[in-house]
Chains A and B, each alone.
Chain A
Amino acid sequence: MLAALVIETPYASLDQLGPALINWLNSAGVCAMLFLLLGEIFRWLWGKGSLVFHGLAGNLGQLSPEEVWKRRSLWLWLTLIGVGLVLALLGTVLGRGAGQGSTAWASVALLGWRLAALAAILAFAWEFILELLVCRARRIWALARLTMLETIRQKALWSFAVLVLLVLVGSWFIQVEPKDQWRTYVDILYRTLAILMVITATVLACFALPNDIRRQTIHTQITKPVRRLEILLGRMLGLIVLLTVMLFIIGNLGFLYVFREVSPMARAATMRARLYQLGELHFEELDNEGNWQRKRTGTDVGDEFVYRSHIRGGAPQEAVWTFYRLPPFLLDKSWQERNKRLTVEFMFDIYRMTRDYEGGGAGGVAVVLRFVNPRLWDAALEADYRREAQELRYKEDWDEILARKYGFYEVPLHIADLRTYSVDFPTAILERLREGGVLQVRVACRSFGQYLGMGPNDLYLVVGEGSLYWNFLKGLVGIWALTVMVTVLGVCFSTYVNALASMLLCWALLFLGLPQVQKFLGELGPETIHRMDVNPGGGPLEAMYRLARGLPMATPLPDNWGIALMQKIDLGYAYLFRAISGIVPDLYQYDRTLHVAEGFSIPGGELLMSLILLVGYLVPYILAGYYLLNAREIAA
């Protein structure tokens, strides 16, 4: 059996919703304040009147009673921004004056800032929100329907025939081992589908509105009681519905084809949807005083792939997975009675220090897995445990009795490099978790001279088996989210720039959103810009200075005001890069190929969180698209 869930960067989960919302509020608040300020400056420069007096969209010159009301609401938000900023400033200044530990003033500053950020978002989005309230579903759907009909009748979906062809004849050209069929086919299908959907969605989205404007067909819409927001939403909705249907059809065809083709070996190995429970990994080491010391990492063997950390064979060093949270049903007595065993699966990297495996005739590295409830188990009880085990060894359920009593169960085995193993342990050990405690799985290596490498997701509990088809669909949701993203971006960009420029903008953003580029942008942030291990040589100005002076990257710089200023400017660059990384999408959140290909059920919470992040990411673009379309002279 071979299946690996190597996830270097964890996916966002619902636990992170609160911090994510705060981050969003901060970023969106700053952007909104900047846009309000810039808008006011440009309007003043171009003699178009004040934003405050004429509303945001630029066409509210003649004030009707509703618009007067709109303006008053806007004024309210602007006042709140002012109040919030004053509070934030006061909190910061007075907090500094009060010295360290002045949490009350810090809270005031934080509250003021958040109030200002929220009010800025509302001020910027106010016209949009009011417009949204008066939009009519029938009109939006009419425009969506028109978009769908247009796309279908202009034969724009023929590109999908290419994928159908690829799916149908692809296996003729792909040579894979039977055991790898599922993961290879799923990988190819998902990636091809993602590329095709992104290209199709970008082209359709970026050309929809510009074509309408170029052919002047939009004139007959604008001159009807249609709001521009309805046009924007209608276009987006039509494309999203159509592409969703296409994705569903092609995805299902692909599923049927792959399902039919896969060998029995691959079905057993990866064509599954394991419901898994991850634990938190830490390492423990016995110090000279005989105490176990907790560590974040194990021994560094110099491997470039830093995902895994190692423990030394035959040494008092253990890798410990702690399962702080278990699905509630595992603690249910009736479930435990029905299911006497629970499975743990794992896969470790063996870092060999000798030519061959040690550990006896079994041909692998000797490993021992200990399932422990630390509330019940203590190393001092080991002698009692072994004695009792000897006495009960003829009883069929000896391990259950002891697991229940001592909160301990042990499995020694030999393992090979990067191969997935499955071990069952008695659920009796979970019984007393109801009283308190946690489940720990402690792994030790017994083969002298060998190292075992482990990453956070290398060991997990298999708590059930999900539906394979449902999991496949959940995987498609990632591609769907990507499709929605480029559709919305494309339509929004095309409200102002032409179709080709919109397409280039979309693809540039997607490129910046690739995990590798995101990582790079992240490293250019203010926290790491001056860190020697991440950015040797410092920020751009410092790097230029070093180049000009011929200074090596590690040479300390002189301590003077010029260098300090240079580093401050570099810090400014770092904040700019942070802002840039905020406007690009995090595509990693939507790539779920690994889960489906390796046979793991995609956690619903993570999927939901990725969709929430998508909404949070797209809302500012929709706002911008609306204002740009509203401010545009369609017939100019």
Chain B
Amino acid sequence: MSTNNQVNGEVLVETRNLTKVYLDFWGRKKKEALRALNLQIYRGEVFGLLGPNGSGKTTTIKLLLGLLFPTEGEALVFGRPGTDVAKNERIGYLPEESYLYRFLNAEETLDFYGRLFNLSPEVRKKRAEELIEKVGLSRDKKRPLREYSKGMRQRIGLAQALINDPELVILDEPTSGLDPIGTRWMKDLILELKAQGKTVIMCSHRLDDVQDVCDRIAILYEGELKELGRVDELLEIADLVELRARGVRLTEELKRDLEEVIRRHGGTVESVQHPTTTLEELFLRIVRESQLHPGRRYLPQVERSPMAAPVSAGSAPVESAARS
């Protein structure tokens, strides 16, 4: 899809030689946060800005949103400069810390941001209800945000970013501070937005998140663009071949046969083994099981056993708690 967009060339966001230098009161250079960044982001793709702290990810986003002014170059969104107010009609923005008014509740928050989009009362009410439902805050919609957990604030933050049904969603560290369940929820939502045809720009320093959801990424380091391209292409290791097979046991004979085949094609086998799942997958599975079977708990004596089998649906080392 992204490739098609690139070919079709509908550029939503573009930076041309974008540079940001922070100056002190006397106009002296304090820090060069971004240096001559050139990017093009296409309609319908999920684009990740990747980099360590201070690499210029958030600065880029703030320049696109008009929160900062470029020192040199241009930051164009929908072909208009970042400082143009009208372009914001089509943008949804989730800041890193979900900086919302903590004295408002979820309904009031969405109503307030709906008013800023000049939405009529009926549309505001309808959208607010839908979004509160979507982000799973229906039961807490009357509580002030100061009572919300970090994850809940991130959810309502995302809801406010979607109140105008934007074409472009900009997410600044969307999974920062979230637990694995929240992280998965956020990633699923980003993929859902992509499925709806929306363009998503996210910046993060959590590499796994970016890998899971992004079509293309840009890697920034100390304000400079170091890498730009499709995630699958960038992550591909061209001189390694991975083989996956189902319905066969890994025996010595199989290993030898595989080595023979690989050798005949001029290569060498580095390792042959059963694959492992990710820790995230494992965690989520346990949470799902716990939700299905609330009484079950972990047996400590099993933990001490080095030979304990991995936790799975069929052979979980859990026991049913006595129910009163």
Interface of A toward B, CB cutoff 8 Å? 46, 58-59, 61-62, 64, 136, 138-139, 141-143, 145-146, 149-150, 153-154, 215-217, 219-227, 633-636
Residues of A within 8 A of B164 (CB): 224
Expressed in whole angstroms, the minimum distance between the Cβ of A513 and any Cβ of chain B is 30
Residues of B within 8 A of A145 (CB): 112
Q: Judge whether B48 is part of the interface by a CB distance below 8 angstroms.
A: no
Expressed in whole angstroms, the minimum distance between the Cβ of A146 and any Cβ of chain B is 6
Rounded to whole angstroms, the CA-CA distance of A221 and B160 in the bound complex is 11
Residues of B within 8 A of A223 (CB): 65-67, 88, 91, 93
Q: Which residue of A lies closest to B81 (CB)?
A: A62
Given known pairs A149-B103, A219-B99, A226-B85, the reply for A142 and B116 (CB within 8 Å) is yes
Q: Please pick, from A64, A136, A153, A217, the residue contacting B99 in the complex, using a CB distance under 8 A.
A: A217
Output the residue of A58, A139, A225 with the most chain B CB within 10 A: A225
Output the residue of A62, A141, A636 with the most chain B CB within 10 A: A62
Apart from A220-B100, A223-B91: 10 A-B pairs, beta carbons within 8 A: A59-B81, A139-B116, A219-B65, A220-B95, A222-B67, A223-B66, A223-B93, A224-B113, A225-B116, A226-B116
- A interface footprint on B78-94 (CB within 8 Å = 1, 0 otherwise): 00110111101101010
- Could you list 26 examples of A-B contacts with CB < 8 Å? A46-B27, A58-B69, A59-B69, A62-B74, A62-B80, A138-B118, A139-B118, A143-B116, A145-B112, A146-B104, A149-B104, A150-B103, A216-B95, A216-B97, A219-B93, A220-B93, A220-B160, A221-B116, A222-B66, A223-B91, A223-B93, A225-B85, A225-B89, A225-B116, A227-B85, A634-B68
Rounded to whole angstroms, the CA-CA distance of A112 and B97 in the bound complex is 56
Does the CB pair A146–B89 fall under 8 Å? no
Expressed in whole angstroms, the minimum distance between the Cβ of B223 and any Cβ of chain A is 16
Q: Which residue of B lies closest to A630 (CB)?
A: B83
Q: Judge whether B226 is part of the interface by a CB distance below 8 angstroms.
A: no
Does the CB pair A61–B81 fall under 8 Å? yes
Residues of B within 8 A of A141 (CB): 115
Expressed in whole angstroms, the minimum distance between the Cβ of B101 and any Cβ of chain A is 6
Does the CB pair B118–A146 fall under 8 Å? no
Expressed in whole angstroms, the minimum distance between the Cβ of B253 and any Cβ of chain A is 62
Q: Judge whether B62 is part of the interface by a CB distance below 8 angstroms.
A: yes
Expressed in whole angstroms, the minimum distance between the Cβ of B9 and any Cβ of chain A is 21
Rounded to whole angstroms, the CA-CA distance of A154 and B102 in the bound complex is 10
Rounded to whole angstroms, the CA-CA distance of A222 and B118 in the bound complex is 14
Does the CB pair B67–A225 fall under 8 Å? no
Does the CB pair B67–A219 fall under 8 Å? yes
Does the CB pair A146–B112 fall under 8 Å? yes
Chain B residues numbered 47-88 whose CB sits less than 8 Å from any CB in chain A: 62, 65-69, 74, 76, 80-81, 83-86, 88
Expressed in whole angstroms, the minimum distance between the Cβ of B14 and any Cβ of chain A is 12
Q: Judge whether B117 is part of the interface by a CB distance below 8 angstroms.
A: yes
Does the CB pair A635–B62 fall under 8 Å? yes
Does the CB pair B103–A64 fall under 8 Å? no
- A interface footprint on B136-166 (CB within 8 Å = 1, 0 otherwise): 0000000000000000000000001000100
